[in-house]
Amino acid sequence: MGTIEDYTGGFILESIRKALHLFDSTEGALTADEKGLRLHKNISEFEPLILSFNQAAEYIRNARSIAIGERVCRVLHPESVFTESVFLNELAVEMAANGHARMATIEEAEECLQKSAGHPLIISKVSGEYLEICPSFPLDCVYWKAEKRGLHCLQR
């Protein structure tokens, strides 16, 4: 499972980079591929859920701390559309402390997600709790790419 330290220390980015490399260097379904199955296990541990805006707003309203920062994988695709994720609780505090995000109010976080309308919202578990809400960019997103290759991971 991904941990808060993975996010602040850059390990999560390395994992995303490796996953994207697997997708780019192979074709077709990955359901019988050893590396594909390992990747499926790893990403499933984030228990990603697709959220409506109202569901995302509820997570935000119930959070102890909130921060906003560029979606984690965008550094690998700097030419792609700019969207920002909302981080919650301890992940918010640590991402802000490490300069990857800025602390935000409930209203700012909701406005941030509203600005990215059209990007499916996905919440991921980090250190065992749902802490990252990303307006995902399906063309570059590990979860959406995994789904396309038969590695189903997104719950609705």
Residues of this chain that bind ligand SF4 (CB under 6 A): 16, 71-73, 122, 134, 136-137, 141-143
Query: 66 or 100, CB closer to ligand SF4?
Result: 100
Min separation Cβ 139 and ligand SF4, Å: 9
Query: 30 or 73, CB closer to ligand SF4?
Result: 73
Query: Phi then psi for 50, rounded to 5 degrees?
Result: -85, 130
Tell me which residue has tokens 């969207």: 83
Distance CA 135, CA 51 (A): 10
Min separation Cβ 16 and ligand SF4, Å: 6
Query: 4 or 32, CB closer to ligand SF4?
Result: 4
Distance CA 122, CA 54 (A): 13
Min separation Cβ 107 and ligand SF4, Å: 22
Cβ neighbours for 101, distance < 8 A, ≥ 6 positions apart: 67, 68, 69, 87, 92, 95
